Each structure stands twice: as structure tokens, then as C-alpha cells.
């Protein structure tokens, strides 16, 4: 999952080791990386940077060094200069370094994004380069498609077991009648099965299957056979073990190589990694694999502005090469391939899902701290709570879109 840009930022080259190495204890043990003190004087530029930041945040009812849970508290004086110079990347990295804090990051970002401060800050040359990189280059080609699996999803199955629900579902839950995370995720999985009108004996493709939560649920409760594709080696190995005895197959492969018929198709939380330059080819793959009369359910986070650019901090530390689609981009990409039968937006439920993940992450931190340092902890809580704030402010959406090849005779009816 991904959040919109917060302020203009610059691009850094991603470490070759990715998240698998980032934040793990060095030989000397845990600790926070310190940056050199900025050279300044009381009359220098830092004072001006602090004034600009204070004025901007006041528009969102956020105070610098205030005492409310969502106020931003500085631990070092050079944070405003760093944030204004480096934008989103500077904001996130300075939090990771322990240079500022807030008791409720989720509330801070709800206010900042709700006040549209991201549009108040002029785009810098560095951000322009980041923007052009994402618009001109195919960052989700066959070679790069494996980067997110290696950097994010291969972080460790034991890590995700403690943060996620019992089925290991790393997508938005459906909270309408749910009292907890397990219930919300099973409600979402059941809703997908009902929207696809699954029947025993049918063959279902899951594009971006993760640890197999959807396939396992569908096989257990609806009697279908499932094939799932993933670019994460650890997910595939874990999923095969969990689904032993079920008609479920995991394939470690790029989705573009799938070419065989299925009765129905689901893609849950993977389309965010496809990239706008590959939207059409993604749907062409789905169309060639979907039998006439079948349904395709796409579950994806979406953005409301077509030409916005992935957040530089998330791109570096959480989801390399991620690219949220807009509704217009999806509609264009499916033209003359599918009929859009139904669109369901329950993005507000992602707020509760992310906060539930954060609660479980914080509870498991004493165990995680044996392997990861404090900087990793701050990175991960920043990711979860900032994204929760973005969904709470309704700046990003969660869509379930049901598609059919030629249109459902008599019309499609969303199950209640």
C-alpha cells in the first residue's frame, strides 16, 4: 500500500540490499543514525525555515513543539531546513533518525493532508526529476517487477505473522460488521468470493497472490481450484506449506507469462505495483486468461489525480517502483477489453486496517527488536500511521472493481 506525496521531495538511489538489510542490527547493536549538525547562526536560514514550516503547519492546526497529540515536536533544530530542502523524503528520514516526533502520527498526517499542504509547497528541481523518472521510464518492467518482492514482501514471514491477521492478508479489511482484524479480513475475502459468484469446481487465477489468503479461503469455503502467481519467493514457499491438501498452486513468476484459461480472476492488492505504462498489458493478460462468461475482480488502492507522482519516501523505503492508478487510467486501460460492471470504494476501512497492523506491530516490537533497530521501528510506524492518515483524510481510495468480458446478460448485481 502507498500514500500520496506529502511535500515535494528528491530521489535517492535505493540500496541494493533493500528492506531486507535496512534497519537490521549492525555489529555494534541497535541505535539511531545521527546526521551532522547544520552549520548555522541565529540569524541564518534555519530560522527562516522554521518560520515557514510553522506557518504551513498552522494551516492544518498543527503546532511546532506544541503539546497536543498531533503536534510536531522537534528534537533537532535543523529539521525544518531538511524538510523544506528534501520534502517528503526529508520529513520521513528525519523522523527515522529520531529528529522529530509526534504522539499521534496518524492524526498529524490526517490534518496535513486534509489541509492540502502538499499542494502549498512549490515543486523543486529535485522533485521534477523524480516526477520525470516515473513518467518517462517503465519502472515496473519484467526485471524491476521482482524488486518489490525482494525488498518488501521478503522481509520475513515471521515478521508478517505477528503484524497481520491469522490468514496473513496484507490488504484492506472490510469492517462494516467486524469487531477485529481477523473478522474484517475474512469478511473481505468472502465478499470477493461472492462478487465473483464462485461455484465448486471452478478454476480461479489470483494475480499477485501473496501468502495465499484468498486462494486458501476460496478453496476451503467455495470448493474452487486456484492458481496464484507471485514474485516473492518467501511468500510462495510459505503459502505452499499453509495450503497443503487444498487444490491450490503457487507459481513464482511474472504475471505477464500467464497464458491459460480460468473461470474467474482476482487480483487483490497487486495492481499498485503494475505501473501506468503496463496497465494495458496487465488487462490484456487478464482478458486472454478469462473464459467468456467469467468475472475479474480488481482490488486496488487508487489516487484521485492522474498525474501525481509516487511519494519519494515510500518509493525508497517501503514500495520501490510503486505507482497508484487513477480511475481514469483504469477505465482507459480496460477499454474494448472489459465491461466495468461494478465499482465499490471502501477506502475509509483501510484506516482501521492500518491502525490495527500498527497496534500489532507495536505489541510485537520487544521480539522484533532482537533483529531490527530503533530506526527500523520508526520507519515502519511512520509508514503505517502516515498511510492511515492519508486514508482518513480520504486522499487515497480503495476500489473493488468487477469486470466482465462482454457484459453480464441482464446486468450484474453486487451481492449484499
Give catalytic status of residue 387 as yes or no. yes
pLDDT tens digits for range 351-368: 999 999 999 999 999 999
What is residue 54's three-state secondary structure?
helix
Beta bridge partner(s), residue 399: 300, 345
Query: Cell triple for residue 374?
Result: 530503533
- The average pLDDT across 274-300 equals 97
Is a pLDDT exceeding 60 seen at residue 387?
Answer: yes
Q: What share of the chain is helix, strand, coil (3-state, %, to 5)?
A: 45, 15, 40
Residue whose cell numbers read 500511521: 385
Query: How many other CB atoms sit within 10 Å of the CB of residue 122?
Result: 8
- The average pLDDT across 5-33 equals 38
Catalytic residue among 172, 209, 226, 387: 387
Report the pLDDT value the prediction gives residue 86, as an integer from 0 to 100.
86
**HEC readout, 144-168:** HHHHHHHHHHCCCHHHHHHHCCCCC
What's phi and psi for 372, nearest 5 deg?
-115, 150
Domains (range + CATH), the chain: 18-136 (no CATH), 144-404 (3.40.50.150)
Report the pLDDT value the prediction gives residue 15, as an integer from 0 to 100.
32
pLDDT tens digits for range 126-149: 444 433 444 455 544 545 444 444
Amino acid at each position: 500500500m502507498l500514500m500520496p506525496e506529502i511535500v515535494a521531495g528528491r530521489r535517492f538511489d535505493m540500496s541494493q540490499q533493500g528492506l531486507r538489510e535496512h534497519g537490521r542490527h549492525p555489529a555494534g547493536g541497535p541505535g539511531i543514525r545521527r546526521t551532522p549538525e547544520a552549520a548555522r547562526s541565529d540569524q541564518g536560514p534555519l530560522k527562516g525555515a522554521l518560520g515557514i514550516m510553522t506557518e504551513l503547519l498552522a494551516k492544518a492546526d498543527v503546532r511546532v513543539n506544541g503539546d497536543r497529540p498531533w503536534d510536531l515536536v522537534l528534537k533537532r533544530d535543523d529539521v525544518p531546513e531538511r524538510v523544506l530542502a528534501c520534502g517528503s523524503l526529508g520529513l520521513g528520514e528525519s523522523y527515522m533518525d529520531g529528529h522529530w516526533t509526534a504522539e499521534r502520527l496518524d492524526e498529524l498526517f490526517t490534518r496535513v493532508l486534509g489541509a492540502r499542504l502538499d499542494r502549498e509547497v512549490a515543486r523543486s528541481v529535485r522533485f521534477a526529476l523524480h516526477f520525470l523518472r516515473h513518467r518517462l521510464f517503465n519502472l515496473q518492467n519484467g526485471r524491476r517487477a521482482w524488486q518489490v518482492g525482494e525488498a518488501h514482501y521478503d522481509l520475513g514471514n515471521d515478521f508478517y505473522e505477528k503484524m497481520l491477521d491469522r490468514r496473513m492478508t496484507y490488504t484492506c479489511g472490510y469492517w462494516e460488521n467486524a469487531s477485529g482484524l481477523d473478522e474484517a479480513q475474512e469478511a473481505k475475502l468472502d465478499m470477493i468470493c461472492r462478487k465473483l459468484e464462485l461455484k465448486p469446481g471452478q478454476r480461479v487465477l489470483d494475480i499477485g497472490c501473496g501468502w495465499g489468503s484468498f486462494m486458501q479461503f476460496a478453496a476451503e469455503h467455495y470448493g474452487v481450484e486456484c492458481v496464484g502467481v507471485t514474485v516473492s519467493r518467501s511468500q510462495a514457499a510459505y503459502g505452499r506449506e499453509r495450503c497443503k491438501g487444498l487444490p491450490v498452486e503457487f507459481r513464482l513468476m511474472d504475471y505477464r507469462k500467464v497464458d491459460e484459461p480460468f473461470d474467474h480472476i482476482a487480483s487483490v492488492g497487486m495492481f499498485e505495483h503494475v505501473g501506468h505504462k503496463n496497465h494495458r498489458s496487465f488487462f490484456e493478460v487478464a482478458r486472454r486468461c478469462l473464459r467468456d462468461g467469467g468475472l475479474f475482480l480488481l482490488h486496488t488502492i487508487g489516487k484521485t489525480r492522474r498525474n501525481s507522482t509516487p511519494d519519494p519516501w515510500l518509493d525508497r523505503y517501503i514500495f520501490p517502483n510503486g505507482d497508484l492508478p487513477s480511475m481514469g487510467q483504469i477505465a482507459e486501460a480496460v477499454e474494448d477489453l472489459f465491461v466495468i460492471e461494478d465499482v465499490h470504494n471502501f477506502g475509509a476501512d483501510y484506516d482501521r486496517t492500518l491502525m490495527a497492523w500498527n497496534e500489532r506491530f507495536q505489541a510485537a516490537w520487544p521480539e522484533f527488536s532482537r533483529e531490527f533497530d530503533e530506526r527500523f521501528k520508526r520507519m515502519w510506524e511512520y509508514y503505517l500511521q502516515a498511510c492511515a492518515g492519508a486514508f482518513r483524510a480520504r486522499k487515497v481510495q480503495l476500489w473493488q472493481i468487477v469486470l466482465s468480458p462482454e457484459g453480464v446478460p441482464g446486468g450484474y448485481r453486487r451481492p449484499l
